[in-house]
Amino acid sequence: MSSELHYQSIATLAARLGAKEISSVELTRAAIARTQAVEGRVQAFNSRDEADALAQAAASDARRAAGQDRGPLEGIPIGLKDVIAVRDQPLTASSRILADFVSPYDATVTVKLRQAGAVLWGRLNCDEFAMGSSTENSAFHPTANPWDLTRVPGGSSGGSAAALAAGEAIATLGSDTGGSIRQPAALCGVVGLKPSYGLVSRYGLVAYASSLDQIGPFARTVEDAALVLQAIAGHDERDSTSFRTDIPDYRAELRTRRGPWRLGIPKEYFGTGLDPEVAAAVERAIAFYRAQGCEVREVSLPHTQYCLDVYYIIATAEASSNLARFDGIRYGHRSAKAKDVVDVYFQSRAEGFGAEVKRRIILGTYVLSSGYYDAYYLRAQKVRTLVRQDFLRAYEQVDALITPTSPIPAFKLGEKSDPLAMYLCDIYTIGVNLAGLPGISVPCGFTGGGLPVGFQLIGQPFQEASLLAIAHAYDQAHDWSQRRPAL
Amino acid sequence: MSQAPQLDIDRVAQLARLALTPEEKATFSQQLGSVLHHIEQLARVDVTGVEPTAHAFAVTNVWREDVAAPGLPVADALRNAPAQRDHMIAVPKVVE
C-alpha cells in the first residue's frame, strides 16, 4: 500500500505528512505521475498545471517545516470540477463558449481550500455547464469510467469522480444540481456528498440552476468527505443564499454520534426501472443497518413521480436566465460572422453552446414565456412545495432515508442518445435538490460484471453531522473503498 | 395543460437569442415534444392553496455592512473581453 500514495485516504496521508514520513511534493508528484500514466485512457481532466501544483506543494512543505501547517488538508492534492473558479487558471464549464476563459478571481471554496493548505490540482471534465448525467456532453472529450473504459463515469461531475477512482487526485470537488455529485460517485465507486442548499457558498461557481446548485466533495471515505466539507462549509456574504448555521466538527461528530438510528425506505424509490443487482446491493446495506439495531421502516414520498418534471421545468428556466449572460460581448466566444450587435448574441450562442445546452435553454425559455408561465413554471414551483413537504413529513418518523443512488450501474458510452432516457438516470437524486436536503452516496458493492454500486442516504436540513455519522457507520465496516480498478 | 401544447420553436429561439439550424429546429422540436408530453402529468396534481417554493430555505433581506473594498482591477475585468479599446469593451456599431 505504501507505494501507492495516490490511492490513500486524506486521513492516512495527513498523518504521514504530519509525521514527516512523506512530503507534499512527494505526494503531489505521485498524483502527477499516476495521472500521466492513466489519463490517456481516463481523460478526467480538461487542463492541469503541474508546475503550479508542485509550487503549491513546496509552499505547503515550507509551512509545515515552519510549524504553520493548516490542518488535515495541508499538502493534499485536490482536483476541482471545471465550473469552479481558480484565479489565473482556465474555467471552461466544458463549453466552447468559455474555451479561452481564464478566471480573474477565486471562488469562495477555492479560497477556503487554499486557507486549509490544500494543493489545487487540475480542472476536471464535466457535462457542458453541468447539464447531463454521463459527461458525454463535454464539448472537449468524454471521460471514461476507470472500472470499465467503455462505460461512462456518470455526470455531470464525471471527471471529478473518475479522477478520484483512477488515483489521479486524493479528493475532488464537484457540483450537484440534480444528482451530479452523487450519481457519478455511485457509478465510479467513491463517496460523493451534496450538502444542504446554502451550506457551501456558490460564489465563483458557474451557475446552472441557482436554486438547486451546491458544491460538494468526492472522497475515498466518508471520513475524508467530512474533512473536505469542514474546509468548504460556512456562511459567505458573497452568496446571498448562503445560510447562517453553526458548523460542527464533522470528523469529531463521526465518533460521538452513534446509532441506532431510525431509517426510512421510501417505497417509491424501489419500483420499476431499478436494476435488480443494484436493488440487491442496496438491500444488503439496509440489512447491515438493521443488524446494527437501527429501526428501518417503510415511508412514502407520494409526489416522487413528479420530481423529474418539476426539475426539468425549474432547472431549465433558471438555466435559460443564467446563461443569458453568454452573449459574446464581455467575455466568452464572439462570433466572427455576426452582421450587427444583436446578431453577435444569436451567432455567438449558436457557435458556442452544444446541443444539450441549447435544448435546455429552449425548454427553459418556453416554460417562462408569456402564456405558459403559470401552467409550467408556477405550477412546478407549487409541486416543489409538495415534494419538500413529503420529505419533512417523513422526517417526523425517521432520522434519514436510504435509497439507491442511481437506478442502474454505469452504462456504455453512447448508449443513451435520447434526452428523456438520460434524464431518468436522476430519478432518485433530484428530489433531494428540490427540497434542499443533504444527500450522500456511499459505495456498497459491485455487480457481477464488476461495476460499482452506491446507496444514497438523505438527511435532514443542515444535519450533515448525523448524515455523515450514519454513512460512516457503514463505510468503516466495509472495504469497498479499498478496491481498485484494473487500469 | 390539458393537451400537449405545440412548442413554437422559431418564437422561442428568438426569445432566447439563439440561432438554430433547420436540423436543430426539427430535432429539438421532436425531442422537447416528448419531454413536454412527460411533463403533462403535472396537470394532475392538486395545487389548490399551495404556495410556490422558489428556494428550499428562503433567506430574505440579506444585508451586510457597506464597507469599502477593492473591486476587480480593470485589467482583470477586461482580461477575457473578446475585443477591447482604451480600457473598454469594444462591440460592433450599435447605432447607425
Residue of B nearest to A387 (CA): B53
Instruction: Indicate if A193 and A337 belong to the same structural domain.
Output: no
Catalytic residue set of A? 81, 156, 180
Q: Which residues make Cβ contacts (< 8 Å) with residue A74, sequence separation at least 6?
A: A14, A17, A24, A60, A63, A64, A116, A117, A118
Question: Tell me: the pLDDT tens digits for A306-342?
Answer: 999 999 999 999 999 999 999 999 999 999 999 999 9
Is there a domain that residue A257 lies in? yes
Cα–Cα distance measured from residue A243 to residue A156, given in angstroms and rounded to the nearest whole number: 25
- Which residues of chain B have a CB within 8 Å of the CB of A308? 38
pLDDT of residue A2: 42
Does residue A297 belong to any structural domain of this protein? no
Q: Note whether residue A275 is domain-resident.
A: no
Q: By the 8 A CB rule, do A197 and A182 touch?
A: no
Cα A37 from chain centroid (whole Å): 25
Quickly tell me which residue has 463521526 as its cell: A254
Q: Tell me A306's DSSP state.
A: G
The torsion angle over the Cα atoms of residues A419, A140, B79 and A131, rounded to 10 degrees, is: 20
Radius of gyration over every alpha carbon of chain A, rounded to an integer in angstroms: 21
**What residues in A contact B75, CB-CB < 8 Å?**
none
| pLDDT confidence of residue A421 | 85
> For residue B57, what pLDDT is reported?
87
Q: pLDDT value at position A404? A: 98
Size of interface A-B (CB pairs under 8 A): 170
Please report the pLDDT score of residue A336 as a whole number: 95
- Cα gap B5→A471, rounded to integer Å: 45
The reported pLDDT for the residue numbered A179 is 98
Of A197, A358, A385, nearest to B18 by CB-CB distance is A358
Closest in A362, A363, A383 to B47, CB measured: A383
A-chain CB neighbours of B24 within 8 Å are 355, 358
- Mean pLDDT of the residues in chain A: 97
Mean pLDDT value of segment B68-92 = 94
- Is the pLDDT confidence value at A418 over 90? no
**What DSSP assignment string belongs to A372-426?**
TTIIIIIHHHHHHHHHHHHHHHHTTT-SEEEEESSSS-PPBTT---SHHHHHGGG
Q: Could you tell me if residue A394 is inside a domain? A: no
Is there a single domain that holds both residue A426 and residue A326? no
Tell me which of A95-99, A203-207, A370-374 is least confident: A370-374
Residue A473's H or E segment, with its range, is helix A464-475
Under 8 Å between Cβ of A404 and A285: no
Domain with B5, as residue range(s), is 1-47
For residue A278, being part of any structural domain is answered with no
Does residue A487 contact residue A467 with C-beta atoms inside 8 Å? no
pLDDT digits (tens, 9 = 90+) for A73-123: 999 999 999 999 999 999 999 999 999 999 999 999 999 999 999 999 999
Q: Would you state the pLDDT for residue B4?
A: 52
Using alpha carbons, list the distances in angstroms from residue A476 to A272, A444, A468, A480.
Answer: 31, 12, 12, 10
Same domain, A373 and A413: no
pLDDT grade for B93, boundaries at 50, 70 and 90: confident
Alpha-carbon distance B5 to A22, whole Å?
64
Minimum Cα–Cα distance from B80: chain A residue? A331
At residue B64 the predicted structure's pLDDT band, cuts being 50, 70 and 90, is: confident
ipTM entry: 0.94
Task: Based on the fold, state whether residues A258 and A204 are members of the same structural domain.
Answer: yes
In a domain, A361, yes or no: yes
A338 and A409 belong to one structural domain = no
**Is B16 within the bounds of a domain?**
yes
For A134, residues 6+ apart whose C-beta sits below 8 A from its C-beta are A127, A142, A152, A153, A154, A155, A158, A411, A413, A416, A422, A425
Domain of residue B24, CATH code = 1.10.20
Report the CATH number at residue A56.
3.90.1300.10
Query: Residue B89 falls within a domain, yes or no?
Result: no
**Quick one: average pLDDT of A23-27?**
98
Which domain, by its residues, includes A145? 5-264+402-482
B38 within a domain of the structure (yes/no): yes
pTM: 0.97
How many structural domains compose chain A?
A: 2
User: pLDDT at residue B21 above 70?
Assistant: yes
In percent, how much of chain A has pLDDT > 90? Answer: 96
- To 5 degrees, how large is the angle CA A383–CA B2–CA B16? 70
A412 and A333 in a common domain: no
* Cross-chain residue pair A328–B38, CB shorter than 8 Å: no
Question: Smallest Cβ distance to B53: which of A104, A328, A385?
Answer: A385
Same domain? For A251 and A320 the reply is no
pLDDT digits (tens, 9 = 90+) for A281-310: 999 999 999 999 999 999 999 999 999 999
Choose, out of B9, B20, B47, B53, the residue to mutate when testing the contact with A (most A CBs < 10 Å). Answer: B53
Number of domains in chain B: 1
Q: Are A47 and A112 in the same domain?
A: yes
- Is residue B29 one of the residues assigned to a domain? yes
Q: Give the residue-averaged pLDDT of B13-41.
A: 95
Q: Do both A219 and A364 map to the same domain?
A: no
Confidence of residue A3 (pLDDT cuts 50, 70, 90): low
Cell match 477565486: residue? A106
pLDDT digits (tens, 9 = 90+) for A231-259: 999 999 999 999 999 999 999 999 999 88
Question: A9 with A97, same domain?
Answer: yes
Distance in angstroms (rounded) separating the CA atoms of residues A295 and A260: 7
Cβ distance of A328 and B1 shorter than 8 Å: no
CB contact under 8 A, B56 and A320: no
Q: Domain check: are A56 and A195 in the same one?
A: yes
Q: Does residue B39 sit within a domain? A: yes
- Is B42 domain-assigned? yes
pLDDT of residue B5: 60
Within-domain flag for B78: no
Q: Residue B2's pLDDT band (boundaries 50, 70, 90)? A: very low
Amino acid (one-letter) located at A458 = I
Residue A207 has pLDDT above 90, yes or no: yes
Residue A413 within any structural domain of the chain: yes
A365 plus A416 within the same structural domain: no
> For residue B70, is it within any domain?
no
Q: Let me know if residue A287 belongs to a domain.
A: no
Per-residue confidence at A22, pLDDT binned at 50, 70, 90? very high
